[in-house]
């Protein structure tokens, strides 16, 4: 029943975008559909000269361009409006179609986590809030992985698989080189020429908002601490 409701919600989402873009396409100038002034000129020339062939060519071009424009707009609309919840739900429907039970289970748990936070907030989540939820789920699995005995290969494999699925929806993480560059930028911005341990508080205060959701806090803290050695 839950799978059916999820599938229906995706259909309604896409249908809403379909109707909206059809209206946009109908209201767009004819020149925009047929490829610009060149095709409009062909159509007008054909009409003035009585050339039915030129009119037919312009009509066919207009139809082809109209279809292309429609699908481009459709893709852009989906990319612009799809929240993380929409993305996960769509992937879950695909997993159910492919009868991929393991993937569907991971996506279902992530979807529930995102929805619970949205319900608590009583509003749509921002991109940063969505990323925080995804990273929290990954962090919990990594902690479980660290605590799992080496002989429990079944749990280890399950955690690694779930992490791999969740990482598809996680933000791109900063590399160590990128983190170092941001740390240097912050230090220079604070006017600190020779960083000392007493400067760590000021540095971290400016640094953390810049790397939040993009880097592991422990790694960042360790990299800053190494600068004082």
Q: Which two tokens stand for residue 228?
A: 């004082």
d(CA 164, CA 167): 5
Q: Read off the pLDDT band of 94 (50, 70, 90).
A: very high
Section 97-122 average pLDDT = 95
Structural domain spans, the chain: 2-81, 84-169, 176-226
The arithmetic mean of pLDDT across residues 110-116, rounded, is 95
SS (H, E, C) the chain: CHHHHHHHHHHHHHHHHHHHHHHHHHHCCHHHHHCCHHHHHHHHHHHHHCCHHHHHHHHHHHHHHHHHHHHHHHHHHHHHHCCHHHHHHHHHHHHHHCCCHHHHHHHHHHHHHHHHHHHHHCCCCCHHHHHHHHHHHHHHHHHHHHHCCCCCHHHHHHHHHHHHHHHHHCCCCCCHHHHHHHHHHHHHHCCCCCCCHHHHHHHHHHHHHHHCCCCCHHHHHHHHHHCCC
Query: What is the arithmetic mean of pLDDT over 100-127?
Result: 94
Residue 137: what pLDDT?
A: 94
Helix axes 2-27, 52-81, angle to 10 degrees: 140
Fold of 176-226: Arc Repressor Mutant, subunit A (1.10.10)
CATH architecture observed for domain 84-169: Orthogonal Bundle (1.10)
Please tell me the predicted confidence (pLDDT) of residue 92: 94
* The two three-digit tokens of residue 8, written as one number: 């229906």
pLDDT digits (tens, 9 = 90+) for 38-54: 444 444 444 444 556 66
- Write the Ramachandran bin of 125: left for phi over 0, alpha for psi from -120 to 50, otherwise beta: beta
Residue 70 has pLDDT above 70, yes or no: no
Note the pLDDT of residue 196. Answer: 85
Tell me, what's the pLDDT at 33? 45
Of the candidates 73, 71, 72, 103, the one whose C-alpha atom is nearest the C-alpha of residue 88 is 103
Q: How far apart are the first and last CA of the chain?
A: 59
Q: Which of 79-88, 93-102, 147-156, 220-229 has the lowest mean pLDDT?
A: 79-88
Distance (Å) of CA 88 to CA 44, 46, 48, 134, 168: 49, 51, 55, 11, 10
Q: How much is the average pLDDT of 113-138?
A: 92
pLDDT at 117: 94
């Amino acid at each position: 029943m839950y799978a059916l409701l999820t599938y229906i919600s995706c259909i309604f989402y896409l249908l809403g975008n379909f109707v909206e873009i059809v209206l946009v396409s109908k209201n767009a100038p004819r020149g925009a559909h047929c490829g610009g002034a060149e095709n409009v000129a062909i159509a007008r020339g054909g009409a003035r000269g009585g050339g039915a062939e030129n009119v037919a060519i312009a009509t066919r071009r207009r139809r082809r361009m109209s279809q292309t424009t429609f699908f481009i707009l459709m893709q852009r609309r989906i990319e612009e409006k799809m929240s993380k919840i929409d993305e996960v739900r769509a992937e879950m429907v695909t997993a159910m179609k492919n009868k991929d039970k393991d993937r569907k289970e991971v996506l279902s748990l992530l979807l529930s986590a995102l929805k619970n936070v949205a319900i608590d907030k009583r509003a749509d989540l921002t991109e940063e809030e969505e990323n925080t939820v995804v990273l929290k789920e990954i962090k919990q699995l990594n902690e479980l992985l660290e605590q799992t005995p080496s002989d429990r290969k079944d749990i280890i494999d399950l955690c690694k698989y779930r992490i791999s699925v969740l990482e598809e929806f996680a933000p791109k993480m900063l590399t160590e080189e990128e983190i170092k560059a941001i740390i240097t930028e912050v230090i220079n911005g604070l006017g600190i020429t020779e960083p000392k341990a007493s400067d760590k508080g000021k540095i971290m205060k400016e640094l953390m908002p810049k790397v939040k959701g993009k880097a592991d806090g422990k790694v960042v803290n360790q990299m800053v601490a190494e600068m004082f050695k």
